[in-house]
A and B are shown apart, each in its own frame.
Chain A
């Protein structure tokens, strides 16, 4: 009989779903659309590398690069934001907008490549390792781990 009481309450207690186009409230940590800040982006393309749904595109050009984002393909996993060392990416804490045509929300930015930052003054030379100490492995210059 408990289920009948529950059904009765549901019947008169209003619905918990919303009629289109109303959207539910979200928490502050909600992962919505990815926001791109061209001022901060260094063009490292780590975000493209980390994007498993291929929502982020990156094309390198002469003195500039093109960064694209298609929310229609995005799964809002947030891996691109996590991996962005320059903090150029963030996620909106609201539901993604409703769109009617494929690629309607797609955005593309062409950003001029910034000049490399001047090298810092060389640090004081380290003391030479002891002759018997093990040699440290060098960091890879290309590629990387996911």
Chain B
């Protein structure tokens, strides 16, 4: 992948130019779908965009010193890494990529979560610190399963290159890994039943409690971009190999949309779990599942 292609992917498609409107669209789909399933009208189509613009126009409380600089920096880092993760997705056929870009994608997907943890502690708010602690515990819980699932998918196909993974026909083991990734997505996207780090009623949105104005707008955008990146990763692994670029792009968007609807249905159907129940769910129930997937993948690799 040369510099021009890399920049085009990062800035145009599937990068910022596509990802930012897609982020607002996915945020709207999630809110609207949950509202409809709860018997409410839900927000109008442009609401996430209006929210973003409104927040940009608001002021932020003056903060000085290192903590203030950090509080301004965390949302920007989160947005840029989430946008970078979206830019790495091999949506178009023959889009390039490099060996090991899956590992870079995972790292970029994880940075917004680390930023949230750091932001909560930087804010010095009691609620922010509780939310950050919860986010850290949640991250430790679901990431083991998430990473094992990714490793199982990569090991079953003998590559850590995203484009190569996307082009290969899915095997049964890969489906097992995709299922494990799907189980981790509600936790990664702070959706019910794993929305405890940003619980609005209990801890006033946790790490976000001290953020306002453009900083909060950046957090919202980063959350939307995480949606695009996480659902896009699953869509890339699920999508069949298509040579026509516009059909490939449409299949990618349609699959991502379907995953957003599925996650919204899970969010609407479940209530928030406590932290100990969440940890138990991932460490006791799902970890066994992920270990089975990765051990089967390694066994198959040794056998072949």
Contact = CB atoms under 8 A, between A and B. Distances in A.
A4 B262 CA distance: 12
B41 A10 contact: no
Contact of B41 (A3, A4, A17): A17
Nearest to B271: A3
A2 to B, nearest CB: 10
A108 B42 CA distance: 39
Interface of B: 35-42, 265, 268-269
Interface string A8-19: 001101111111
A11 B269 CA distance: 12
A82 B42 CA distance: 39
Size category of the A interface is 10 to 19
B40 A11 contact: no
A17 B269 contact: no
A60 interface: no
A7 interface: yes
A17 B40 contact: yes
Contact of A19 (B41, B265, B268): B41
Contact of B269 (A4, A13, A18): A4
Contacts, number: 28
A6 to B, nearest CB: 9
B224 to A, nearest CB: 23
B40 A7 contact: no
Most chain B CB within 10 A, of A13, A14, A15, A18, is at A15
Contacts of B38: 7, 10
Contacts of B41: 15, 17-19
Given A7-B268, A10-B38, 18 more contacts: A7-B37, A7-B38, A7-B265, A7-B269, A10-B36, A10-B37, A11-B37, A13-B39, A15-B35, A15-B36, A15-B39, A15-B40, A15-B41, A16-B39, A16-B40, A17-B39, A17-B40, A19-B41
B264 to A, nearest CB: 10
Contacts of B42: 15
6 contacts: A7-B265, A10-B38, A11-B37, A15-B39, A16-B39, A18-B41
A7 B267 CA distance: 11
A7 to B, nearest CB: 4
A106 B268 CA distance: 41
A103 B260 CA distance: 43
Contact of B36 (A3, A4, A11, A18): A11
A86 B96 CA distance: 84
A16 B39 CA distance: 6
A25 B38 CA distance: 21
Nearest to B40: A17
A10 B39 contact: yes
A16 B268 CA distance: 16
The 5 closest A-B pairs by CB, nearest first: A10-B39, A7-B37, A15-B41, A16-B39, A17-B40
A9 to B, nearest CB: 9
Interface in A1-46: 3-4, 7, 10-11, 13-19
Contacts of A14: 39
Contacts of A16: 39-40
A17 B40 CA distance: 5
Contacts of A13: 39
A3 B39 contact: no
A14 B38 CA distance: 10
B192 to A, nearest CB: 12
Contacts of B268: 7
B92 to A, nearest CB: 34
Interface in A33-90: none
A14 B265 CA distance: 17
B269 A3 contact: yes
Most chain B CB within 10 A, of A4, A10, A13, is at A10
